[in-house]
Amino acid sequence: MPANLTPIYFKAEERFKAAQTVEEKIEALEEMLAVVPKHKGTDKLCGDLKKKLSKLRNQEGKKKGGASQKTSPYKVRRAGAGMVVLIGPPNSGKSSIMQALTKASVQVAPFPYATRLPVPGMMSFENAVVQLVDTPPVSAEHHDADLPGLLRKCDIVLLVLDAADPEILDSWDMINQVLEQTKVKLAPEAGATPEPGELFEVKTFIVLNKIDLPEAKETEAVIAELLPGFKLLPLSTRTQEGLPKFQHAVFHGLDVVRAYTKTPGKKADLDDPVYLKRGKTIMDFAQEIHKDFAAGLKFARIWGEGKYDGQTVTREHVVNDGDIIELHM
């Protein structure tokens, strides 16, 4: 019986092969075991994976028994269509957004600093998922030294501000000053890769939370005038106003396309898209699935808008959103 392994499995396998630490290898193996199809054809594979996992866990336990090793909680593994990080001052409502749009375990409280560590969760949009990461609040007195590293590797920063806060501009200035001290700059678009010591410009959307409150509409107009160029996302987690537009803007802000795998003679897998940056090719698609597919790829057949069913394309063909791709070695 064939194993019928999925693209997610192959991605995890690639991470396992490229892993530099025991912890990274364990994470990859755990995902491989979680997504591998469970049937007689994969019994041996599952057994081998479990043996490797057990051996690595024992190895990790011995290391922890010796010199202590600390891993930063800000080391969040990317998932889904892209990584989107929420930052903001105390009580801006970041955690309420996470609670409204993901299944992440967050604490929503009326007091500041309820979030003490980064909390990742998955937000659904159509048939895609986007990783949202809540972070501890930023203030002039307190900000985690590891936060800038997380911001440098994410795709979009969502700066969440309380639209009813009369000191909202002070909060904007404070967060920018704190981040620029660490060489991170919030910008309407991502900048080019900087030289060492230069500011790292990260693509930022401004989220105006609590827009249902009476004083919030005036604030929205002021922010739009004073911060031209930044995409504004007004919303209310209490009334759910603006949440669908928020989901749409965040996903499309990632500038990715969704493509789907198809095995010859079988139906396409429309439940598990492969995410590619817009402009990527069939070759990039094959590389995402497995390096062996890319190495032996001759051509592909493709189904999608503006194409006839099963059209033959070369490895250099640019992938569009919604394309179904059948690779031929």
Tokens found for residue 89: 């001052």
Q: What is the pLDDT of residues 241-251, one digit of tens each?
A: 999 999 999 99
Report d(CA 37, CA 43) in Å as an integer.
10
Work out the average pLDDT over 79-99.
92
The domains found in the chain, sorted by start residue, are 7-65 (no CATH), 83-253 (3.40.50.300), 257-328 (3.10.20.30)
Exposure string over 201-234, b if 16+ CB within 10 A, otherwise e: bbbbbbbbbbbbeeebeebeeebeeebeebbebb
pLDDT value for 1? 44
Exposure string over 24-47, b if 16+ CB within 10 A, otherwise e: ebbbbbbbbbebbeeeeebeebbe
Q: What is the pLDDT of residues 6-61, one digit of tens each?
A: 776 787 788 788 777 787 788 778 777 766 776 777 788 888 888 888 888 777 66
pLDDT value for 59? 75
